[in-house]
Amino acid sequence: MTLMRPERNDALGIHVVNGPMSPDKPCVWATRECIRSCYVRGYIRRWRNAPSGAALLCIIAQESAQWLLYTPDCFKGIKLVRLCSRGEGLSDRWDVEHVRWLATTTPGTKFLLPTRCHTDPETRSLVESRLFGISNLHILASVDAGTTQEHFDSLVASGWSTMGFFSVQDKPHPLAGDDVERCPKTWGGAHGATACKRCGERGTGCFRRGQKNIYLRQHS
């Protein structure tokens, strides 16, 4: 059997693995704002009946089937990986244990994992007990304009790092000042090797150790 390897994403400058998602349904924990701004679903709606749209549907189906087939060996020699560039990487308890296995068995790889699972109390609790504290695993709660201040405050109090995309212009970030770090890729226009790769190699931004709150200017 051929060993699966993460693909390199030139827009991010790092390797990515994509998680389960459906062309017809949003990711399992998707919010209204998430569904509205999802570039994958927008592309599918526009090009569904074109050859490029059909090809993307096949890719999504294949990625969804392969997600749980990734093993630690797939990441050997790769330093920076995003789980998941599209799709949800923490849909249930099996995903939680799968990610724990990948991260703890591959200490030489830094994993970045934005997730909406914090909206589900049971999965959130599992993540906090099973995944928090793994030094090479950077989990960020994906938040948006629909996230209430109360929910955001509870995340911060529980030790979650956050990644915030606020498309409503008059909706300020729930935090202010030094507690918020603007993403250099979406705010500064950095691309390729100067974007996520630079943060990963320097241990800054999303890859900085400890709790952090990353502010996105646009969907990333």
Domain membership flag for residue 67: yes
The one-letter amino acid code at 135 reads S
**Average pLDDT value for residue range 201-208:** 94
Residue 2 lies in a domain: no
Task: Give the pLDDT score at 29.
Answer: 86
Q: Which DSSP string corresponds to 119-178?
A: GSHHHHHHHHHHTTT-TTEEEEEEEETTS-HHHHHHHHHTT-EEEEE--STT---SS-GG
> Where residue 129 falls among pLDDT bands split at 50, 70, 90?
very high
Give 23's DSSP letter: S
Q: Has residue 118 been placed in a domain? A: yes
Given this model, what pLDDT does residue 183 score? 87
Q: d(Cα 145, Cα 216) in Å, to the nearest integer?
A: 12
d(CA 144, CA 128): 21
d(C-alpha 72, C-alpha 109), whole Å: 10
Whole-angstrom Cα distance, residue 178 to residue 165? 18
Q: Does residue 123 fall inside a structural domain?
A: yes
Domain extent for 121: 7-19+28-216
Please report, rounded to a whole number, the percentage of residues in the chain having pLDDT higher than 90: 47
Global pTM reads: 0.87
Total domains, the chain: 1
Give whole-number Cα distances, 51 to 7, 31, 187, in Å: 22, 29, 34
Q: Tell me the per-residue pLDDT of 57-94, one tens digit each, with 9 for 90 and over.
A: 777 777 777 888 899 999 999 999 999 888 889 999 99
The whole-angstrom separation of Cα 62 and Cα 80 is: 23
Tokens representing residue 1 in the block: 């059997």
Residue linked to tokens 């943060």: 199
Residues 31-54 pLDDT 10s = 887 777 776 766 666 656 666 667
Q: Which of 212, 185, 211, 189 is nearest to 14 (CA)?
A: 185
Structure tokens that stand for 16 in this block: 């990515």
Q: Domain for residue 77, yes or no?
A: yes
Mean pLDDT of the chain: 84
Examine residue 180 and state whether it is found in any structural domain, yes or no. Answer: yes
Sign of the alpha-carbon dihedral angle for 160, 161, 163, 169: positive
CA distance readout (Å), 89 to 22, 58, 64, 173: 13, 19, 10, 25
107 inside domain? yes
Q: Which residues pair with 162 in a beta bridge?
A: 141, 213
CA 71 to chain centre: 19
Classify residue 2 by its DSSP letter: P
In a domain, 209, yes or no: yes
Structure tokens, 128: 């906090």
